[in-house]
A and B are shown apart, each in its own frame.
Chain A
């Protein structure tokens, strides 16, 4: 039997990144669809329903575009932090805080004209998300507490805070007991673009995406962050204190997720309610890693995973597949990409001698 051994490539596999992602997606889709058989459903029918619910009709594609907005913004934030090996897995909570900040502004100043109120809401969301992310940054710097745990714990706390607000002080008295705030005034709504179902949140994505791309491309700090690597090294090259950088990337990261929370609340829901928390902050991590932390690939991957979400909703509707099916797919995709990335730096070869 010819024995195989692992050989380090002389240079990284060109075009490997794309091949690996496509391979991982194909593997995960295949495995996921076969899994339907375990629930006594037909995998063939599942594949058809999944296709019809995604690329099979325009309405679903519009839906996917809408869903890709929060995923994209959160994922940009995740990427900024991950580049410096600051493991911010708190996008979900920062997203919630952004929504809470925006809702506070919308409920406090309902009489302001749109041109003033929307910027105030955005500002409140950026601040709320950014400051929420500064808590773990501060704990990491002052006390060397792992940001992995604190950002995650703060997710649970943020979601419970949102619950507390919509079940309590902000609850709409006319909602028949449903946990939700009153509807926002029209001035607080980020409207649709033209006659489409797409909203102006896309413009926000464009600004954030291009802004971040320019930051990575044209500034020294951005370049160092892009070069990546261990945080302390980046700080040394950029000539900035490590503590400042951690605070900086966490604030930007949290503010971007907060922005996503604001856009989603204002443009899609028009009020704050628990259904806002759909796990976009965790999907954003999958997206960021699929896209190797690069802004443009993040846009594509956000769209792909949003398509998957919409497709899974269709499966849920047509074939009564639990919504958790989407999580299984996301987990599988991320795991197979992680395994696949090995082949970017290594290859298998025949053992010599």
Chain B
């Protein structure tokens, strides 16, 4: 394998890792605030459609990107209201959201299968694109990939260096202390869930606006679940989320390339790769014994007093 192919493969890894990265950070934000949301798969899927339709009808990919985020936030607020407001079981509510989201996507998306919307195209960043090796991998991508480079840093800064970020982390660890400090635990949880949903939605938007420019049903293809797994793999830290997302991007890109070059391996076995790797990666990271990094009150609802 010569350098050119390797650079192309790694560039493809970054591209297919990007939607997963958005979604992983979104789920991480929600979980940091104590809200486990298993609806990521459904949210990404609805967001992909919302983004596609918005771009299709307005002609603006950026509006589409925003619409994807808003769609994710809408579904997440449903989950938030049910879990934070009505004390619904977080696991079951998330699953219901996935079922609903996939249903909505197929229901409303089917008439648009095969249509194209204006999306994001790749462009070289002046100067940086000419760097040896790295330039080809990182700086000849589309605008959304460049957005995703900034996001983990902003995410880290928000949670670790700002007061609202501190409050979100606290409500995921010990809601009673947050209430004692005079803040509103329920509002904070809702905020974390909805803001997280917005990021997940941006990941969904990436699928229909940059990854493909055509609409097909089933674009999310398990990426939402992989994002949920990556949050655990990342020990709830944005830096490791980047590594995990690109690792999965790499496997998906590799599998596509292998299929395209025509191998003897049946495609159904190749398609198993990302899912099998998810299990393997979770097992390996758990083996290193870091399960204790989960927010202490993750998945535990806050009961009203009285």
Which residues in A have some Cβ–Cβ distance to B below 8 Å?
Answer: 5-8, 35, 38-39, 87, 89, 139, 143-146, 148-150, 152-154, 156-157, 160-161, 163-164, 167-168, 282, 285-286, 289, 321-332, 334-335, 338-342, 346
A contact residues around B99 at 8 Å (CB): 282, 286, 327, 330-331, 334
User: Is there contact, CB below 8 Å, between B282 and A149?
Assistant: yes
User: Is there contact, CB below 8 Å, between B272 and A160?
Assistant: yes
| Residue from the list A149, A334, A340 in contact with B92, Cβ < 8 A | A334
**How many inter-chain contacts with C-beta < 8 Å in the A-B complex?**
150
User: Is there contact, CB below 8 Å, between B95 and A89?
Assistant: yes
Closest to B93 in A: A338
B contact residues around A139 at 8 Å (CB): 279, 282-283, 286
User: Is there contact, CB below 8 Å, between A153 and B96?
Assistant: no
Known contacts A322-B107, A334-B99; decide if A149 and B271 are in contact (CB<8 Å). Answer: no
Closest to B225 in A: A152
User: Is there contact, CB below 8 Å, between B100 and A332?
Assistant: yes
Interface residues of B in 263-306 (CB under 8 A from A): 266, 268-269, 271-272, 275-276, 278-279, 282-283, 286-287, 291, 304, 306
Instruction: Type the 1/0 row for B221-248, where 1 means its CB is closer than 8 Å to any CB of A.
Output: 0100100110010000000000000000
Known contacts A144-B286, A157-B276, A163-B268; decide if A342 and B92 are in contact (CB<8 Å). Answer: no
User: Is there contact, CB below 8 Å, between B291 and A144?
Assistant: yes
Known contacts A167-B266, A324-B106, A342-B87; decide if A146 and B92 are in contact (CB<8 Å). Answer: no
A contact residues around B107 at 8 Å (CB): 35, 39, 321-322, 324-325, 327-328
Assembly CA distance A87 to B42 (angstroms): 19
Q: Which of B91, B99, B278 has the most CB of A within 10 A?
A: B99
Q: Smallest Cβ distance from A326 to chain B, in angstroms?
A: 7
Q: Smallest Cβ distance from A243 to chain B, in angstroms?
A: 16
| Residue from the list B82, B104, B110 in contact with A335, Cβ < 8 A | B82
- List the 10 shortest-distance A-B pairs measured between CB atoms, nearest first: A331-B100, A327-B103, A324-B106, A338-B88, A334-B96, A328-B103, A342-B86, A164-B268, A331-B99, A143-B286
Which residues in B have some Cβ–Cβ distance to A below 8 Å?
Answer: 38, 42, 78, 81-82, 85-89, 91-93, 95-108, 110, 222, 225, 228-229, 232, 266, 268-269, 271-272, 275-276, 278-279, 282-283, 286-287, 291, 304, 306
Known contacts A7-B306, A164-B269, A289-B92; decide if A153 and B86 are in contact (CB<8 Å). Answer: no
User: Is there contact, CB below 8 Å, between A146 and B269?
Assistant: no
User: Is there contact, CB below 8 Å, between B266 and A331?
Assistant: no
Assembly CA distance A286 to B106 (angstroms): 19
Known contacts A160-B268, A160-B272, A289-B92; decide if A149 and B232 are in contact (CB<8 Å). Answer: yes
User: Is there contact, CB below 8 Å, between B88 and A153?
Assistant: no
Assembly CA distance A335 to B225 (angstroms): 19
B contact residues around A6 at 8 Å (CB): 304, 306
Q: Smallest Cβ distance from B255 to chain A, in angstroms?
A: 12
Assembly CA distance A328 to B100 (angstroms): 5
A contact residues around B96 at 8 Å (CB): 286, 330-331, 334-335, 338
A contact residues around B286 at 8 Å (CB): 139, 143-145
Assembly CA distance A323 to B103 (angstroms): 8
User: Is there contact, CB below 8 Å, between A338 and B89?
Assistant: yes
Known contacts A6-B306, A8-B306, A149-B229; decide if A338 and B92 are in contact (CB<8 Å). Answer: yes
